[in-house]
Chains A and B, each alone.
Chain A
Amino acid sequence: MKIIIEESPDCSETEIAIRCKELTEGVIKIVSSLRALEQKILGTLEGKIHILSPEDIFYFESVDKKNFIYTDTEVYETSLRLYEVEEVLGDSEFFRATKSTVLNISKIKTISPKLGGRLDIELVNGEKMMVSRQYVTILKEKLDF
């Protein structure tokens, strides 16, 4: 991959153009990384790429080595792995809830602690999730518990 940086005094806004033969997984990954810098996440739905704001995302889930983004009404596929999501959004309202999910705290409606240390979560859209015992500390830190 070739990276060319052109400096121009006439340029009012930084512009990134990607020239490629076709839109491959690798190219999408590059765009995802660039978008992540401005806290935007790319998700694919029915062959179209959508730019998502973190505040619209309920949670990320990894299923059979594929990663998905869940919003209130849609499920998008993403090239970002959960550890990358943590890297990009870990400082914001997102936290690792189980080995296969990263949740948005702002979308939590209620939390019910259970015997054994896990937490049952109800999201504002009524979906039921959980936080494994090993990740409860992260949530507590985020909530200043």
Chain B
Amino acid sequence: MREKLMEFTLVFKTMASLFFSGGVIIYVVFGYMLGEREISFSLIVQIFFLSIVVTGFQYIFWNEGAKGKLSKITKIILQYVIFGVILFAMSQWFTWFSLEWGTITRMFALYNAIFLGAVFGFFMYFRILGMKFNRKVLHYRTKKNDKPQ
């Protein structure tokens, strides 16, 4: 039980740190493009809690023990909707931007770009890592077969 808890904590902490760093980088890059030159402490706290929420959902949807029968596409669509709703609610609660049609459109486009970028990023990362593993397995088998018996 203790081992499982430690294992969970380690995975959760790593993922949350990843999302937190990602959140700060996204804000710095896109904020700079939109004219922001600084980041407030309260925003860092908001990103911190947001990264915990995002990690929670990530864990629910993708952890190895998740027995859900949902397909990958359904999971991604569900995450897209849930994160969208959470981000919109937070944006209004913490007044990140005003409810003007032009701003909403820009932010929606930004959300789509970041979400798709993240999905593509994860997809490519695991694909490349998988290819590296498979190359190593192939190399291992070839090396083993070349060895004199």
Contacts and interface: CB of A to CB of B under 8 A. Distances in A.
Real complex partners, A and B? yes
Interface of A: 93, 105-106, 108, 110-119, 130, 132-134, 142-145
A142 B137 CA distance: 10
Interface string B116-144: 00000010001001101110110111001
Please report whether the interface of chain A is mostly helix, strand, loop or mixed according to DSSP: mixed
Interface stretch (B57-65, B83-91, B94-102): B57-65
Nearest to B10: A133
B74 to A, nearest CB: 16
Nearest to B12: A116
A116 B63 contact: yes
Contacts of B130: 110-113
Interface in B6-45: 7, 11, 15
Interface of B: 7, 11, 15, 58-59, 62-64, 122, 126, 129-130, 132-134, 136-137, 139-141, 144
B136 A115 contact: no
7 contacts: A93-B140, A111-B133, A112-B130, A113-B130, A130-B64, A143-B136, A145-B132
B7 A145 contact: no
Contacts of A93: 140, 144
